Structure 1
Amino acid sequence: MLSVYLRSLLRDEAAVDDLFQETMLVAWRRLDDCDLDRPFGPWLRGIASRLVKAHYRKQKSAPVQLHETVLAVVDRHFENITQMAGDTWDEKVAALHRCVDDLPEKQRGVIRERYFEGMPASQVACQCQISIEACKKRLQRGRAMLAECLKKKGVLDGGGVVT
């Protein structure tokens, strides 16, 4: 969830990875300050949001969506995800994994390597011994099949948005 939260605030994947690790280090150092009787997610997201703000200050550019009101709304949405019975993030991820497992082998392989292993499409194509165009087509078909499967499971709405 922390990684998803950071991705909602940052476009740069390297920055997401760096700030994820930095958030975990700060949290580890400040674990004694955490009230374990309260939810852990908001405390961790608070650390992450301060680090994101510092990141943008250092870059001398802050996107509009970092306004305090927007951060509060994003945080509230993440808190709602963890509190909704039958609609938790873990259940959505489990549904995604079941849908991936149900894909035909050709699509399952490229989807896993591209999105689960984080390989660039060119490397996936090379590993599968197919052209980059064939790899992109398999990924496209695989994503369409996943979207259809997730719609049937009630995880996506009609527009392909996670509900």
Structure 2
Amino acid sequence: MLMVYLRSVIRDESAVDDLFQEAMVVAWRRLDECDLDQPFGPWLRGIASRLVLAHYRKQKTAPVMLHEAVLQVVDRHFENINLLAGDTWDDKVAALRECIDALPERQKSVIGGRYFDDLSAAEVAERFELTMEACKKRLQRGRTMLAECLKTKGVLSASGAAS
């Protein structure tokens, strides 16, 4: 459902993939801020929307706006997906936790530094005595490994869309 949301506001498929993975990691890191008695979809989309705005600021472009009626229909579909069995916050968090734990140490350390310790890529590179390019490559490989793991757990479809 998060991929559908991201694809509705961003056309660049690689940016969608990156923002999805970053949103999931940010959500994991900020889990203590989430009221688990409330639906997690709107909370997760809120995180994603802030990442989307940051993406557009970085690209110095403006988002393509959808008609309000379309957004309402899409939001209703998101809420219906939330009601499906096996699509709970706990299911997704448990899958993400398992996937992070399964990462090789090289990727786990940079992912942890970037998303759990909230360091910039430059700070992660410095912490682990890596060149900036090596750090970016490890982050990219780590996010790719997380996506593949989440696909095997059914959190992502084979096309990369959230199940």
TM-score calculated relative to the size of structure 2: 0.60
Match of residue 130 from structure 2 = 130
Equivalent runs, 1:1-163 vs 2, <5 Å: 1=40, 2-7=42-47, 9=49, 11-13=52-54, 63-65=64-66, 67-163=67-163
Q: CA deviation at 1:110?
A: 1.0
- Between the aligned residues of both structures, percent identity stands at 53
C-alpha distance in structure 2 between counterparts of 1:62 and 1:147, whole Å: 25
Structure 1: any 5+ residue segments left out of the alignment?
15-60
Q: CA deviation at 1:100?
A: 0.5
User: CA 1:113 to 1:77, structure 2 compared with 1: closer, same or farther past 3 Å?
Assistant: farther
Structure 2: any 5+ residue segments left out of the alignment?
1-39, 56-61
Instruction: Note the alpha carbon deviations across 1:68-121, whole angstroms, 9 max, x for none.
Output: 212312321332243111122331222012100111111011112223343221
C-alpha distance in structure 1 between counterparts of 2:148 and 2:141, whole Å: 11
Please tell me the residue identity of whatever aligns with 2:141: R
Helix, strand or coil at the partner of 1:12: helix
TM-score calculated relative to the size of structure 1: 0.60
Structure of higher CA gyration radius: 1
Cα pair 1:92 1:155 within 8 Å, conserved: yes
Question: After TM superposition, what 4+ stretches of structure 1 lie above 4 angstroms from structure 2?
Answer: 7-10
Q: Pairwise CA RMSD of aligned residues?
A: 2.5
Q: CA deviation at 1:156?
A: 1.2
Cα pair 1:82 1:89 within 8 Å, conserved: no
Instruction: Note the alpha carbon deviations across 1:7-51, whole angstroms, 9 max, x for none.
Output: 55553249xxxxxxxxxxxxxxxxxxxxxxxxxxxxxxxxxxxxx
Q: CA deviation at 1:134?
A: 0.9
User: CA 1:82 to 1:103, structure 2 compared with 1: closer, same or farther past 3 Å?
Assistant: same
User: CA 1:75 to 1:96, structure 2 compared with 1: closer, same or farther past 3 Å?
Assistant: same
Helix, strand or coil at the partner of 1:87: coil
Q: How many residues align?
A: 116
Please tell me the residue identity of whatever aligns with 1:6: G
